[in-house]
A and B are shown apart, each in its own frame.
Chain A
Amino acid sequence: MDVETLANALVAGILTGMVYGLSALGLSVIFGVIRIVNFAHGELLVIGMFAALVLFRWLGLDPLLSVPLVAALLFVFGYLLQSLVIRRVAHLADHMQFLLLAAIAIAMVSGCLIVFGPDPQGVQLDYALDSFAVGLLVIDKTRLYAAIAAVLVAGLLLAFFKYATVGRAIRACADNYLGAQVVGLNVGRLYALTFGIGSACIGAAGCIILLLVDVHPYLAPGYTLLAFIVVIIGGMGSLFGALLGGVLIGVAEAMAAVVIQPSLKTAFSFALLIVVLLLRPQGLLGKAPH
């Protein structure tokens, strides 16, 4: 094992991890504000990937350019899902919500199977095999572009929550529900917006991931699990935590693949999860419970 291989794996891991982070951001936003654990996370991501695939086949659109379109589509989907369906079970026990979202997830996978079939499908881009050489490093063009796109979208999202009044109002709902009612925020509508924004974020991540991975319906549960791991490692409700967790998982997977063997990379993610849960149960950037 030489330094060059390790360094390349490290860089590839960081770049992939940024995309994982963006996907987990969508889960974190929804959980942090609405306190709904989105068990249909990976399914939304796969729908985003298929949407980008369709746009690529019909219009020849690069998946990175289809980000705004697919994000808008999933925003509408998420908004309607929250305001028409999930809102009605918000007062029920957590496991009832899990059941509903798991059912939605199964319906989404089955829908994708009917429309697209079970086989992996991908996009062929003319720069797919290009790379940049920087010293020892050989960086895939697609991976670099994917990471840049993920960071841009994540930055937009963080800026929205920091500077836009709607974003601040959404944070206010998460911070103090009663306080939000007292100042007259329309909490139901802000929740729907939040689910929409979280879904848009997942949709954007789906487009970007399509650069790196071929899509098929059964990818979904794996991505749900991955996003859970990332969010728990980074810290529930912390947006920066989701990004950090994504990078850590990306690096752990990439290193495991070169140091041991690729099929063991998931074991490494789980090992990292267990270590974090043992040493810092609230996650790396999460707040300790009072």
Chain B
Amino acid sequence: MSAAPILEVRDLDLFYGDAAALEDVALDVGAGEIVAIIGANGAGKSSLIRTIHGIEKPRRGRILFKGQDIAGWPSHRVADLGIGQVAEGRQIFAGLTVEENLDVGGFLPRGRATRARNRDRVYALFPRLAERRGQHAGTMSGGEQQMLAIGRCLMGEPELIMFDEPSLGLAPAIVQEVFGIIEQLNRDGITVILVEQNVAVSLKLAGRAYVLENGRIVLSGTGQELLDHEGVRQAYLGM
């Protein structure tokens, strides 16, 4: 990790009832990095993102964002520090129009004053959303909904965005577009945590990556190291 860490997770345990979802998880994310988290279904990837974002409360551990421990904070306070999430399944507001979705995304205190400017920026990034600003979000295609989910997240001016399965259920051409956008946002200075079923692509995109198995980090390294790793190749790349 070259840059100063923007996010440090230490000794993190999460339980659902008596079942451990995360155990002893530790990871670092440097400012400006793309860090991938890979693992099988049920390994705890989404749980990790949800815990960092304050949607799940950890039983133990620290989550330091720019040095401040945010473990156990409610999600609205976490989001207001500059941690955004593009959630699995997109989680857009289907009954609201595109413009209303963006408006609500900018309701955070940190995005409120600059809402109009951010909206213009999102429309410039996704001209399709500008064309459909009055349309109900639920009537759009999966790809368009993913653009909206990303645009809505940008309305909160995040410094770190956690993407949870952004390519799930999208056509291959759209998947390429989504990864292109993630790269572009990263070039613009946004730090990225990427959870992605498409392991090959996410390891190529990521500077570093962690492998999560049964709620524990079992391996970490640069994207290239993991691409070359025998166990990773067998388990996740089918080689």
Contact = CB atoms under 8 A, between A and B. Distances in A.
A175 B103 contact: no
Given A169-B104, A171-B93, A175-B96, A184 B76 contact: yes
Nearest to B89: A178
A58 to B, nearest CB: 40
Contacts of A179: 87, 91-93
Contact of A175 (B85, B87, B93, B105): B93
B104 A168 contact: yes
A178 B76 contact: no
A251 to B, nearest CB: 30
Interface residues of B, number: 29
B92 A168 contact: no
B47 to A, nearest CB: 14
B105 A183 contact: yes
B91 A176 contact: yes
Contacts of B92: 176, 179
Contacts of A184: 75-76, 78-80, 107-108, 156
Interface string A157-170: 00000000110110
Interface string B73-102: 011101110000111000111111000110
Nearest to B94: A175
B104 A165 contact: yes
B78 A172 contact: no
B156 A183 contact: yes
Interface string A167-192: 01101100110111111111110000
B193 interface: no
Contacts of A172: 93, 96, 100-101, 104
A182 B87 contact: yes
A182 B76 CA distance: 8
B95 A178 contact: no
A249 B184 CA distance: 57
A183 B153 CA distance: 6
A184 B162 CA distance: 13
Contacts of A166: 107
B107 A169 contact: yes
B53 interface: yes
A289 to B, nearest CB: 15
Nearest to B108: A184
Contacts of A176: 91-94
A175 B85 CA distance: 18
A266 B127 CA distance: 55
A188 B101 CA distance: 19
A178 B74 CA distance: 13
Contact of A185 (B86, B96, B100, B107): B107
A181 B92 CA distance: 11
A165 B103 CA distance: 7
Given A182-B85, A184-B108, A171 B76 contact: no
A182 B75 contact: yes
Contacts of B101: 172
Given A165-B103, A168-B100, A168-B103, A183 B79 contact: yes
B152 interface: yes
A171 B95 contact: yes
A172 B102 CA distance: 11
Given A165-B103, A168-B104, A182 B93 contact: no
A165 B85 CA distance: 21
Contacts of B53: 181-182
24 contacts: A165-B106, A165-B107, A168-B104, A169-B107, A171-B93, A171-B95, A171-B100, A175-B95, A175-B96, A176-B92, A178-B55, A178-B91, A180-B104, A181-B55, A182-B53, A183-B155, A184-B75, A184-B80, A184-B107, A184-B108, A185-B76, A185-B104, A186-B76, A187-B76
Nearest 7 A/B pairs, CB to CB: A184-B79, A179-B91, A186-B76, A175-B93, A172-B104, A172-B93, A181-B75
Interface of A: 165-166, 168-169, 171-172, 175-176, 178-188
Given A178-B55, A184-B79, 18 more contacts: A165-B106, A169-B104, A171-B93, A171-B100, A175-B94, A176-B91, A179-B93, A181-B75, A182-B53, A183-B153, A184-B75, A184-B78, A184-B107, A185-B76, A185-B104, A185-B107, A187-B76, A188-B74
